Amino acid sequence: MPHKESVHTSYFYKKNVYCKVLLSDLTMRNICVFCASSLGDNEIYAQTARTVGKMLAENGIQLIYGGGNVGLMGQLAQTVLAHGGQVTGVIPEFLIRKEDASLTLTELIVVDTMHARKTRMAELSDGFMTLPGGFGTMDELCEILTWAQLGLHDKPIGILNVNYYYNPLLQLFDHMVQEKLLRKENRDMILVDTNPLTLLKKMYQYHPPVVEQWLRKEQV
Ligand code: AMP
């Protein structure tokens, strides 16, 4: 990812105080967030989705997401909009009712398939952040990791490990490396933090590994 030298001053909400931070790369304008269509059983997940929404809006970063108003997805999008931020949703037509695509977004893109949704979200985004979620979130995370592994993109991929939700998955990734079924350099592409702000900073500073491109985009 090209790194343009510029300095951007912003404010983040962290532990009940506003913190002034400097972001030295303004090239990450659109971040795709993968997260659950459910709320989960612990308020910390919805709270975190709202913190991430506020952080994106206050830093002029557009949210790219699945377009719905349910679960953590809804909490996130509502918060970005409430803070004057920009949101683009990408939703397959058959999910418009099920995932309640009722928010007035900056843009709502309607596609035909789940695959088209992932492709469109990936094209629109400069980086990907994964919040707690279920199968849908796993599918989105693993597919975007696979595309990075194949050299189809070199955008940062972060996991927000709030409440240590993803510890078992991260252990599995390490186990895959141990068993030599996953290359360490591919495992190391995954950025992890429990704090949204720190994760965002890691994403800004990300330097992708040099990988051999196995496929061209049109071969996928
Ligand atoms: P979940 O984590 O299962 O609650 O799902 C989170 C989001 O992922 C929901 O908006 C799902 O519609 C979406 N999702 C599930 N499977 C896919 C897929 N194969 N491609 C794109 N989005 C998906």
Ligand 1 atom closest to 115 (CA) = 20
pLDDT at 123 over 90: yes
Provide the pLDDT for residue 27: 73
Nearest-atom index, ligand 1, CA of 68 = 10
Are 114 and 92 in contact, with CB atoms under 8 Å apart?
yes
- Residue whose Cα lies nearest atom 21 of ligand 1: it is 114
Atom 19 (ligand 1) nearest CA: 114
| pLDDT above 50 (res 103) | yes
Q: Do β-strands 62-65 and 30-34 pair in parallel, antiparallel, or remain unpaired?
A: parallel
pLDDT digits (tens, 9 = 90+) for 55-83: 999 999 999 999 999 999 999 999 999 99
Split at pLDDT 50, 70, 90, the class of 209 is confident
pLDDT in tens, 137-152: 999 999 999 999 999 9
Give mean pLDDT, residues 47-56.
98
**Best mutation site among 39, 118, 140 for ligand 1 pocket (most ligand atoms within 8 Å of CB):** 140
Q: Is the pLDDT of residue 32 over 50?
A: yes
Residue ranges of domains in the chain, CATH in brackets: 28-205 (3.40.50.450)
Cα 32 to chain centroid distance, Å, stands at 4
Q: Which residues pair with 30 in a beta bridge?
A: 62
Q: Whose CA is nearest to atom 18 of ligand 1?
A: 114
pLDDT at 4: 32
Listed in sequence order, the residues at least 6 apart from 27 whose beta carbon sits closer than 8 Å to its beta carbon are 1, 2, 3, 4, 126
Whole-number pLDDT of residue 144: 98
What integer pLDDT is reported at residue 1 of this predicted model?
Answer: 34
- Average pLDDT for the chain: 88
DSSP, residue by residue, 88-153: EEEEEGGGTTTTT--S--SEEEEESSHHHHHHHHHHH-SEEEE-S--HHHHHHHHHHHHHHHTTS-
The CA distances from residue 198 to 61, 82, 191, in Å, are 16, 23, 10
Q: 81 alpha carbon to ligand 1 midpoint, in Å? A: 22
Atom 17 in ligand 1: which residue has the minimum CA distance? 136
Whole-number pLDDT of residue 150: 93
- What is the 4 CA–ligand 1 centroid distance (Å)? 33
Whether the per-residue pLDDT at 121 is higher than 80: the answer is yes
Which ligand 1 atom sits nearest the alpha carbon of residue 138?
2
What number does the ligand 1 atom closest to the CA of 98 have? 12
pTM of the model: 0.86
C-alpha of residue 62 to centroid of ligand 1, in Å: 20
* Residue list, ligand 1 pocket, CB within 6 Å: 36-38, 66, 68, 73, 95, 99, 114, 117-118, 133-137, 139-140
* Average pLDDT of span 114-141: 98
Question: pLDDT tens digits, residue range 160-176?
Answer: 999 999 999 999 999 99
Angle between helices 43-58 and 71-82 (to 10 degrees): 30
